[in-house]
Each structure stands twice: as C-alpha cells, then as structure tokens.
Structure 1
Amino acid sequence: MSYTIKATKEGLIYIKASSIIKISKPNSIDGAKTSGSPLIINANQITFLSFDTESKVTYFMVNGFQISMKIIFQEAEEALQLAKLNIEKIIKD
C-alpha cells in the first residue's frame, strides 16, 4: 500500500490503518478496532470534518462515529472534496 489517504471515483476514501488514531462513538463503552487493512469510508456518510476534543483531525459520520487520524486537516479536506466530486487521487503517499 503506497498511500496514506486517497479518494476514488466511486466516492470512497481509503485511509491507511496506521494513520488512524481511533474510531469511536461518543457515549459508548468502547471504540471500534481496525484490522490492519485500510479503512474505507463513503464520502456521503461524512457529516463534517473538524477537530475532536483532543485536537486531532476527525471525520464525524452520519451514524455517530468519529474517525480521528494522524494527517493534516488540508489532506483530509482534499480527500473529502475529491471523493464527493468522484475524482480519483492519492492525497498523501
């Protein structure tokens, strides 16, 4: 895998597992875990992009989950915009 984050023409965002800090749902007992494979997110399921309470770049999902990542805000924003426009591009190698 030669990318950290990429957008696809199908409207998906791929995030390398090692770039994910945590996947959580507020008010739940424990968070979800990644299995080492890339996390695939449908861009239409992202409500907004911001920072969590620990100042980490975070995608806030429609289903209530929060995906915090070790990437800069501009890379996450570019991936989201390109995925919504159905443009394929590797954002960060």
Structure 2
Amino acid sequence: MSSSASTTSTRTARPVHTTPIQQPPSDSTSRIPVTPAVLRSIFASSRTPHEERSISRIAFFRFAGFLLSCVGISLAASRGRGIKTGAALLGVV
C-alpha cells in the first residue's frame, strides 16, 4: 500500500518588536483608575467641539426615545390586562 505523504514546512513566528516589554509599576497607587469619565475624555479629545455636541444630542434623544418607548409599552400592557387584574396578581385584592 502506497501512502502519499505531504511535506509541510513549519515556520516559527518571529517577534515583531525587539524591545523588551515594560512591566507595569508594582505600586498600585501610581496607576490611574479607568472610569467612564476617563474613557469619555479620551474619546472626546479626538473630536471637535461641534462633533462632540452633535454626538451628545443624538445620545440624549435616543435615551429619551428609549424611556418614552418603555413608558408606552408599559401603559399598553397595563391597559390590556386591566388595573384590577394587575392588582389581583400582586395579591392586593
């Protein structure tokens, strides 16, 4: 029985950077905590004030729309069940 052996060449990966990786400081007080405000300031620094205002407006109106849709869905659901049925489910009646 003849077997066909395929020859594969194995390559070793070479590191791209030859400089040693610096370890973070061992003192935990020298590290800046990553908070939402820090992240926002990093992204805001790459935009103009006009772009930042526009993005802020869009975010506000999307959030307001989300809240209004939640209220609308809640009202529609409560009308379908009726207030007495909802109170009975809670054990109030």
TM-score above 0.5: no
The TM-score with structure 2 as length reference comes to 0.24
**Structure with the bigger percentage of strand:** 1
Bigger relative contact order (CA 8 A; separation at least 6): 1
What TM-score, normalized by structure 1, do the two folds share? 0.24
